[in-house]
Structure 1
Amino acid sequence: MAKKNEKLNYPALIRELAETGPARIYILSGPEDYLRELFLKEIKKLCLTGGEDDFNYHRMDGPSLDMSAFADALDVLPFAAPRTLIEIRGFDVNRCRDAEADRLNAILADVPDYATVVFVQNADYEVDWRLKAAKSIKKHGQAVNFASQDQKQLLPWIRRRFLALGKTIAPDAAMQLIYMSGELMSGLIPEIEKIALSVEADTITADDVARYAHSIPEARVFDMTDCLAAKDYDGAARLLAELTASGEEPVKTVAIIGGQMRRLYAARLAIEEKLGSAYVGEVCGIGYEFIIKKLMAAARGFTLPQLQRAVRLCAETDYAMKSSSAGDSELLKDLFVKLAVGETE
């Protein structure tokens, strides 16, 4: 199993599939659902001759999975196709316990060589690998975590997507797009199409991206903390207001701010201890040097005690939102004021 912050080497995964053929069991999880679906499509090509209309293709609903029906499907020999393919979507591995987990383990241990079983998890689903059912799937098959791609893979992919639409994109513009709209391809595709349609020039610039791309909440919080570091409190307040107006739930906003404050703390610690940018990237799970540099620049605007206090305030606000009757919006505003004050106590 890949580590949580480890980037997926998708080209290597595809090469392995082409060289060795489909495995008997897969569990596909992780946030990069665009690549997950591409990989599943490649598995289908190798297993089936008639696509999803093939007699040998069985799609089962994970939430209502019947173990007996699952076992019966595995007993059916493939007809005029290389393999039998069983796709199970949305199976709650973490809730599969006791007798059901034992039954699942027995079925997976006996999957025939002519069959391939693929468990497809939702992008936001996190498998608890400590549990028996998850261990069974991993023991008998392959666990593939579709994490976001690193800079080496994602920047060329962005350029190719724009080229397919008759546009080129400047390197700094591509990085600006990743910063604003995130690392996930499924989120970048509509932004690329929107920008290509909106810009008349042949080359997309960073200004074009800033004008037309959608900013994910994490990017707005990053910009907000940049403003706090620069003592631009009006700018920080404006960004928080925009985030609130976008409909983002206060409890999620606090979680994002808390995550950013922890990253700033790690960056500030790295600066003071001379640990370098590689340390920051590893600890914070950031695979983009330009984002690491931006984070470290913002961290210089705070002291270590200020960031320690900020992390504690975020945790306290999160707890208050989940355990008290106080209004979440008011608690978020109160947190912002305390962060803006920047005191250590």
Structure 2
Amino acid sequence: MEKDTLVYFFYGEDDFRIAKEIEKIKSGILKKEQTDFNFDRLISPLPVDFLTIANSYPVLSEKRVIQVEDFDGSFLNDTELLDYLNSPSPSTVIIFYDNSPKINENIKFFKELKTKNYFKLHKIRLLYENELFSYIRNLSKEKGIKISDEAVYYLIRYTGNNTVNIDNELNKIVSGIKPENKSKELSVNELKPLLAFSKTFTIFDFIDKILDRDIRGAFSIFGVIYNDGEEPVKIISVLYNEARKLHKAKVQESSGMDFETILRINGVLPFLKKKFLKNLSLFSVHELKRIMELLGETDFRLKTTSHPQNLIFEEFIFKLGFLDISRNLR
């Protein structure tokens, strides 16, 4: 908890990490036995109900904590609520939580509070792909286990950036490890039996097929992961990053740069070097550029037309097949 902070406002899409931060604040203020009388979670409250609790004294504690959720702009801009927040009780800590990816910082609530030293605004977005590695490393350490780089990568392939799934899978690992092995670094082969993934295929299996130029296999896997709820827009985002990395490496290769330097500059992990170089050998600069163009066109169509998303994406895969045909005709 930040010292002297009386009002927090959390927003963003990562509910799990926001909940962890809120719990950290709460447990830093209240002992377990103080929670019953000094913690209130208010869902869609009226301003008058909020103010009644905010102005009440804590019981056998220095402070009380109020967590407020599911509110709208009219609640935040209520005159009496703003009067209170401009001069809050020093014995009440308020945590506002809005699970929206964006907020309007131009409303009166934020304009007035952002200048106050007792107010803290926190955005907690979904983790980017390049942040997952260190996140899992740190979370594993918190849970008292060590995982090899290859095992972390394996876990990322199946959980993506869903922090709830990451936490659940790490808990399975913790409960499945023998006590004498907890200080030992787990390899990918030791990790696999401890997990229980429900999906037959993942987005990464699909991308592997694309980068292996296995269009028929890509078609099959797309059907499975789409029916499992995978969004085409998300697939495009991940595939575009992979294609862009390969395109950059291909340009570097064409300029005469050696492979070790290419791998280092592009941050390719040691156990992925062989796979990366294989994919690099399968495409030309022109083909990789065309894949990125097709991804951009498909992304635009997915976001601007009412056509079925699976049919739009299958058309994209079909077009990738023509890259193979044109290569064979050369």
TM-score, normalised with respect to structure 2:
0.71
After TM superposition, give the deviation of residue 23 of structure 1 in Å: 1.0
Whether 1:28 aligns to 2:10 is yes
Please, what is the CA RMSD of the aligned residues? 4.1
Contact 2:8–2:120 (CA<8 Å) still a contact in 1?
yes
Among 121, 143, 146, which residue is 2:98 paired with?
Answer: 121
Alignment map for 1:111-260 (pairs within 5 Å):
111-122=88-99, 125-132=100-107, 133-136=109-112, 138-140=114-116, 141-147=119-125, 148=127, 151-158=133-140, 161=143, 163=145, 169-194=147-172, 204-207=186-189, 209=191, 212-214=195-197, 220-246=202-228, 248=229, 253-260=231-238
Distance 1:342 1:30, change over 3 A: farther
Whole-angstrom CA distance in 1 between matches of 2:266 and 2:13: 22
Distance 1:196 1:100, change over 3 A: closer
Among 57, 61, 67, which residue is 1:77 paired with?
Answer: 57
After TM superposition, give the deviation of residue 312 of structure 1 in Å: 0.8
After TM superposition, give the deviation of residue 25 of structure 1 in Å: 0.6
Alignment partner, residue 271 of structure 1: 249
The structure with the larger Rg is 2
Distance 1:79 1:292, change over 3 A: farther
Distance 1:82 1:195, change over 3 A: closer
Contact 2:9–2:97 (CA<8 Å) still a contact in 1?
yes
Runs (5+) with no aligned partner, structure 1: 1-16, 282-287
Identity %: 15
Amino acid at match of 1:145: K
Alignment partner, residue 314 of structure 2: 333
Distance 1:318 1:40, change over 3 A: closer
Whether 1:101 aligns to 2:84 is no
Q: Which moves more between the two structures, 73-82 or 296-305?
A: 296-305
In structure 1, the residue corresponding to 2:220 is in which secondary structure?
Answer: helix
Whether 1:89 aligns to 2:69 is yes
Contact 1:78–1:114 (CA<8 Å) still a contact in 2?
yes
Offset from partner CA, 1:217-262 (integer Å, 9 cap, x none): 9x9333323322221123212321220342x1xxx62211221244
Whole-angstrom CA distance in 2 between matches of 1:52 and 1:43: 13
Whole-angstrom CA distance in 2 between matches of 1:254 and 1:127: 22
Amino acid at match of 1:114: S
Whether 1:315 aligns to 2:311 is no
In structure 2, the residue corresponding to 1:86 is in which secondary structure?
Answer: strand
Offset from partner CA, 1:276-295 (integer Å, 9 cap, x none): 889978xxxxxx96899888
In structure 1, the residue corresponding to 2:213 is in which secondary structure?
Answer: coil
TM-score, normalised with respect to structure 1:
0.68
Distance 1:297 1:215, change over 3 A: farther
In structure 2, the residue corresponding to 1:303 is in which secondary structure?
Answer: helix
Runs (5+) with no aligned partner, structure 2: 253-260
Distance 1:339 1:273, change over 3 A: closer
After TM superposition, give the deviation of residue 204 of structure 1 in Å: 4.7
Alignment partner, residue 258 of structure 2: none
Offset from partner CA, 1:167-186 (integer Å, 9 cap, x none): x6433112211232134442
Contact 1:88–1:118 (CA<8 Å) still a contact in 2?
yes
In structure 2, the residue corresponding to 1:40 is in which secondary structure?
Answer: helix
Contact 2:5–2:120 (CA<8 Å) still a contact in 1?
yes
